[in-house]
Chain A
């Protein structure tokens, strides 16, 4: 079919040109890698500090004294939390371990009840901090148990059933979302405005190729460029930066494809109101930069003011970011990201429909 041949040639040319365009690559893949390096430097390997969350089911003076004895050790901090709060902190990698003090701890120490066992939970993996924390807790516990009778003992360290998410694990799906956002808008949309302004579209129009074919090639070519960049980013993230994916790789495909489609659509809307490539760039920057900070790329949306949260939750990047984090960090299944995908699909359909209706050759 001749129109497929035309489409394929245009799309290949698009991907080839995008890969050769180093300036644009620096702003997408380059910046994403830079962010990962910065995050690695900010949060990675800065001395050993041990912090505990304690779930105190006992609440007596004895259990308070036990925790104080632990927190008196220099370099150790202890916070008393609810059960859920403590395990959520463990999951976010904000504590080294969770201690669970059983009810009856005080009575056991006073010799008025049966012997009790303090539980210690760590995330999987094992690090310098966890080894040190085991030893500290064991020493303190031995101090309490050592008054004649072994009233309290320490459980063997138990691995909690959580995926501990490091900063690097969190930033990788964020940077995937970042590439989707910037490439969708920059490669596809600004690329299209540039072709219009420099009369490349007009030249295509002088051939039998249809506007639909040209548009489709621009979108698909742009999307392939996005996928290539994500591939490079993920490989770098895992091999160089040690990020982990707890989910199914295939489940990343729907949010990546739909997210790209929705940003391509938004980019097209930008192009249909921009006469020059300069104004398209300015408008694109006005859309993309706030989105980047509003959509949970660098910190969770829940830490934003409510009004801003509401706005952020309407825009597609928050949904893309949510879906990617759920899959990669929580190992979520498709049912958990169905809503995300539906919202992004809706964005894509509406924006691309409006854009192709408003399409201008020149």
Chain B
């Protein structure tokens, strides 16, 4: 655990800089939302995979669906894409009823499926040409290949691509018809960190071209970095829907301070400090608090028994909190994350 958010922990959460969420249902000009989902239900036998979902996605927005595996993200996405029929509810995409006119909608959206497979014995350029031919309007093949940096691999068979290249191709194919709205289902799952970062850049490029993007993920960093708004989904329901900073502010507002447990420090002392919400101690101590300064002041006090007694550790106090060489080790201060939001909303971890 204890993955620090990118950048210094003391700065604002990255999403803070983003535009405020647009009002629900209608956009700024009063036009219809790109996606309008109302009371969606999909059952498999007795289990409701999607259990009454309603939400809207506005033009130009990057909308994230965050939840663990099996939460119903993919099913929801596939209903919106016209690949599955819901048991109840209505779906409008770009102003068209998907259930009534799926082909009309498919002409104007781009889809990247989870676990994309392409026809066998097909080269990259051929795959782009093939998908371009499936739409009434398509962008020039060479342009798409260049945009996604696939030029070097254009004559390679698709099954010889690396995971990251395959995913770039898969996203390229989703954009070959120049869609207004793009669906990306777990675009970075199974990718190594380098490739993941690369895909994030690709998605940011799509956002800059004013496309509406809907993506599912179970990586909180991904949702925090890319999404204007995030729907937290658990067991087929939306348990929260807002911008990442607001979700964090509302459901994981405290700062968490973590360190290795040292002799002479009773975690109970910390629990009594003002602003402390939660103290968990099992080898490592994790304190969630609304006033981190108070906790740090106590922890790093050079006269505190745990720091005086442990003077020998001096230089090793590294993990550090910049204090006067105390015995507190592996100190980590971090803001709340979407992971904490999910934990606090469902009592379970995203990775389960």
Contact B103 A208 (CB under 8 A): yes
Question: Taking each of B103, B121, B131, B136, which has the highest tally of chain A beta carbons within 10 Å of its own beta carbon?
Answer: B121
Interface residues on B, range: 20 to 34
Contact A21 B121 (CB under 8 A): yes
Tell me which of B112-120, B289-297, B313-321, B341-349 binds A. B112-120
Interface positions of A from 1 to 24, Cβ below 8 Å from B = 2, 5-6, 8-10, 13-14, 16-18, 20-21
**Chain B proximity of A218: nearest CB distance (Å):** 10
A61 to B84: give the CA distance in the assembly, Å: 89
The answer to whether the Cβ of B97 comes within 8 Å of any Cβ in the partner chain is no
Question: Taking each of A13, A18, A361, which has the highest tally of chain B beta carbons within 10 Å of its own beta carbon?
Answer: A13
> Which residues on A sit within 8 Å (CB–CB) of B36?
none
**Chain A proximity of B96: nearest CB distance (Å):** 12
The answer to whether the Cβ of A92 comes within 8 Å of any Cβ in the partner chain is no
**Chain A proximity of B131: nearest CB distance (Å):** 7
Encode B109-132 as 1/0 by CB contact (under 8 A) with A.
Answer: 001010111111110001001110
Contact A9 B117 (CB under 8 A): no
The answer to whether the Cβ of A360 comes within 8 Å of any Cβ in the partner chain is no
Given contacts A20-B121, A203-B117, A206-B81, contact A2 B130 (CB under 8 A): no
Interface residue count for A (Cβ, 8 Å)? 28
A8 to B120: give the CA distance in the assembly, Å: 17
> Which residues on B sit within 8 Å (CB–CB) of A210?
103
The answer to whether the Cβ of A103 comes within 8 Å of any Cβ in the partner chain is no
The answer to whether the Cβ of A112 comes within 8 Å of any Cβ in the partner chain is no
Contact B126 A199 (CB under 8 A): no
Contact A208 B106 (CB under 8 A): yes
Given contacts A9-B130, A16-B126, A202-B83, contact A208 B119 (CB under 8 A): no
Contact B118 A194 (CB under 8 A): no
**Chain A proximity of B261: nearest CB distance (Å):** 49
Contact A5 B133 (CB under 8 A): yes
Contact B136 A199 (CB under 8 A): no
A157 to B265: give the CA distance in the assembly, Å: 120
Closest to B134 in A: A207
> Which residues on A sit within 8 Å (CB–CB) of B115?
199
**Chain B proximity of A21: nearest CB distance (Å):** 6
Contact A13 B130 (CB under 8 A): yes
The answer to whether the Cβ of A205 comes within 8 Å of any Cβ in the partner chain is yes
Contact A208 B113 (CB under 8 A): no
Given contacts A17-B122, A199-B116, A199-B117, contact A206 B133 (CB under 8 A): no
**Chain A proximity of B170: nearest CB distance (Å):** 9
A1 to B351: give the CA distance in the assembly, Å: 48
The answer to whether the Cβ of B135 comes within 8 Å of any Cβ in the partner chain is yes
Interface positions of A from 173 to 211, Cβ below 8 Å from B = 194-195, 198-200, 202-210
A5 to B132: give the CA distance in the assembly, Å: 10
Given contacts A5-B133, A8-B133, A9-B133, contact A206 B113 (CB under 8 A): yes
> Which residues on B sit within 8 Å (CB–CB) of A5?
133
A-B contact count (CB 8 A): 69
> Which residues on B sit within 8 Å (CB–CB) of A194?
120
> Which residues on B sit within 8 Å (CB–CB) of A18?
121
**Chain B proximity of A212: nearest CB distance (Å):** 12
> Which residues on A sit within 8 Å (CB–CB) of B116?
199, 203
The answer to whether the Cβ of B277 comes within 8 Å of any Cβ in the partner chain is no
Contact B120 A209 (CB under 8 A): no
**Chain B proximity of A38: nearest CB distance (Å):** 29
Closest to A191 in B: B120
A209 to B103: give the CA distance in the assembly, Å: 8
**Chain B proximity of A213: nearest CB distance (Å):** 9
Interface positions of B from 88 to 113, Cβ below 8 Å from A = 103, 106-107, 111, 113
A223 to B115: give the CA distance in the assembly, Å: 30
Interface positions of B from 53 to 81, Cβ below 8 Å from A = 81
**Chain A proximity of B216: nearest CB distance (Å):** 15
A21 to B177: give the CA distance in the assembly, Å: 29
Closest to A201 in B: B117
Given contacts A208-B103, A208-B106, contact A17 B129 (CB under 8 A): no
> Which residues on A sit within 8 Å (CB–CB) of B126?
13, 16
Closest to B129 in A: A9
Contact A17 B133 (CB under 8 A): no
**Chain A proximity of B14: nearest CB distance (Å):** 31
A195 to B122: give the CA distance in the assembly, Å: 13
A2 to B136: give the CA distance in the assembly, Å: 6
Contact B130 A10 (CB under 8 A): yes
> Which residues on B sit within 8 Å (CB–CB) of A20?
121
Closest to A19 in B: B121
> Which residues on B sit within 8 Å (CB–CB) of A198?
117
Closest to A194 in B: B120
A195 to B117: give the CA distance in the assembly, Å: 8
> Which residues on A sit within 8 Å (CB–CB) of B134?
6, 9-10, 204, 207-209
Encode A219-251 as 1/0 by CB contact (under 8 A) with B.
Answer: 000000000000000000000000000000000
Given contacts A13-B126, A16-B126, contact A200 B133 (CB under 8 A): no
Given contacts A9-B129, A9-B130, A13-B126, contact A208 B136 (CB under 8 A): yes
> Which residues on A sit within 8 Å (CB–CB) of B107?
208
Contact B135 A207 (CB under 8 A): yes
Contact A203 B113 (CB under 8 A): yes
Interface positions of A from 82 to 115, Cβ below 8 Å from B = none
A10 to B118: give the CA distance in the assembly, Å: 12
Contact A21 B120 (CB under 8 A): yes
Closest to B137 in A: A2
**Chain B proximity of A224: nearest CB distance (Å):** 15
Query: A2-B136, A13-B119, A17-B122 are known contacts; what are 15 more A-B pairs with Cβ within 8 Å?
Result: A6-B134, A8-B133, A9-B133, A9-B134, A16-B121, A16-B126, A17-B119, A18-B121, A20-B121, A21-B120, A199-B116, A200-B117, A203-B113, A207-B177, A208-B107
Interface pairs (22), CB distance under 8 Å:
A6-B134, A8-B133, A9-B130, A9-B133, A9-B134, A10-B134, A13-B130, A14-B119, A17-B119, A17-B121, A195-B119, A199-B115, A200-B118, A202-B83, A204-B134, A206-B82, A206-B111, A208-B106, A208-B134, A209-B134, A210-B103, A361-B83
Give me the 5 closest cross-chain CB pairs, A-B, nearest first. Answer: A9-B133, A198-B117, A17-B121, A206-B111, A20-B121
